[in-house]
Structure 1
Amino acid sequence: MDHSAHDARTAHQHAVHMGGASWGTAVKATLHCLTGCAVGEIVGMVIGTALTWGNAPTMVLAIALSFLFGYSFTLFAVRRAGLDLRSAVKVALAADTVSIAVMELVDNGIIVLVPGAMDAHLDDQLFWSTLLGGFAIALLITTPVNKWMIGRGKGHAVAHAHH
């Protein structure tokens, strides 16, 4: 048995039972979601641009793919830990829905609010600076949400119980 992994899991479970979660745990959970969101957003924007779609359908695709990639990262992790597919899907939905939703709301809100960002192309510095800035702000806003949820045994705490 890997005692360091067991000790980390025990410490995490203790923090949850004591009504709190560490900022480190919250940041890791948020970065996990941010990774799925970033992959989904970029893939969605590349596909929408390649198909010469307008802003709205491209954004819808990017958001849908953000959820798909975010859920799939958790799904694969809990499946590797031994959960059956049905249980793994329930864990992924419970672990990631709020985190991804907050992140997507913040990130896409920033893209909509920055003048010219919606019409910027993939080879435009405005596109990438707005996208990366949106991700950074989403990370800052979503981390306390995840900390609060994990501290109450919700969100990523559900997934961590199965790792």
Structure 2
Amino acid sequence: MDHSTHHAGHAHDLATDQHHAGPHRHAPKASWPMAAKATLHCLTGCAIGEILGMVVGTALMWGNVATMVLAIALAFVFGYSFTLFAVRRAGLDLRTAIKVALAADTVSIAVMELIDNGIIALVPGAMDAQLSDGLFWTALLGSLAVAFLVTTPVNKWMIGRGRGHAVVHAYH
């Protein structure tokens, strides 16, 4: 066997090994603490973006729709950035890190934002409350707490199938 044939065979073996060793081969056992940790990680980024968006939109006296759009957009930005920075520190190049962050957090952030914003929209007067109103903060923080409770089982299910935050763990 010449060197090029051996090298090509070795490259194929590595590609095959990486394919089989990826996050989908053996899904990790998904425990409730693992799911809660993944959800809390996601919630932290989402909450920062959500609160910042609500505060900015409310302070600038934007309408409800514009404020909610800003809050959701910032929740995704901050939610993704927490994972992106973590996997970049672990040594992933930017392109791969972005793919991992998108795979790890998209469903979690989407569920969290759907629940969070749905609750805020349904609480009478919450969307019209000002920053100085207790209702503003009660509805916002309460909705984040409920979003955590609803999203944790979703993350547990995803991790158990090698998806969501299980993708991040494949690179640690």
TM-score above 0.5: yes
Partner in structure 2 of residue 53 of structure 1? 62
CA offset at residue 100 of structure 1?
0.3
The Cα offsets for residues 35-72 of structure 1, whole Å up to 9 and x where unpaired, read as 01100011111221232211100100000000000000
Question: Which is further off, 48-57 or 134-143?
Answer: 48-57
Cα distance in 1, alignment partners of residues 155 and 75 from structure 2: 17
State the percentage of identical aligned residues.
Answer: 78
Q: Matched residue pairs, number?
A: 149
Residue matched to 1:4: none
1:103 alignment counterpart: 112
Q: Which residue of 2 aligns with 1:147?
A: 156
The alignment's C-alpha RMSD in Å is: 1.5
1:130 to 133, 136, 139: 139
Query: Gaps spanning 5+ residues in structure 1: where?
Result: 1-15
Matched, 1:114 2:137: no
TM-score by length of 1: 0.87
Amino acid at match of 2:96: S
How big is each residue's C-alpha offset from its partner over 1:96-154, in whole Å with a ceiling of 9 and x where there is no partner? 00000000000000000010001011111111111111111111110000000001100
Residue in structure 2 matched with residue 65 of structure 1 by the alignment = 74
Q: 1-side partners of 2:102 and 2:132: how far apart? A: 34
In structure 2, the residue matched to 1:40 is 49
**Unaligned 5+ runs, structure 2:** 1-24
**Cα distance in structure 1, aligned partners of 2:76 and 2:138:** 22
The separation in 2 between residues aligned to 1:37 and 1:136, in whole angstroms, is 12
Q: Secondary structure at the match of 1:136?
A: helix
**1:161 aligned partner:** 170
Q: Match for residue 26 of structure 1? A: 35
Q: Could you tell me how far 1:18 is from its partner in structure 2?
A: 6.1
Please say if residues 20 and 148 of structure 1, whose CA atoms lie closer than 8 Å, have aligned partners that are also in contact: no
Mapping of 1:82-93 within 5 angstroms?
Answer: 82-93=91-102
Distance (whole Å) between structure 1 residues aligned to residue 28 and residue 98 of structure 2: 26
Runs of 4 or more off by more than 4 Å in structure 1?
A: none
Q: C-alpha deviations, 1:62-92, integer Å up to 9, x for none?
A: 0000000000000000000000000000000
After TM superposition, the score normalised by the length of structure 2 is 0.83
Distance (whole Å) between structure 2 residues aligned to residue 97 and residue 108 of structure 1: 16
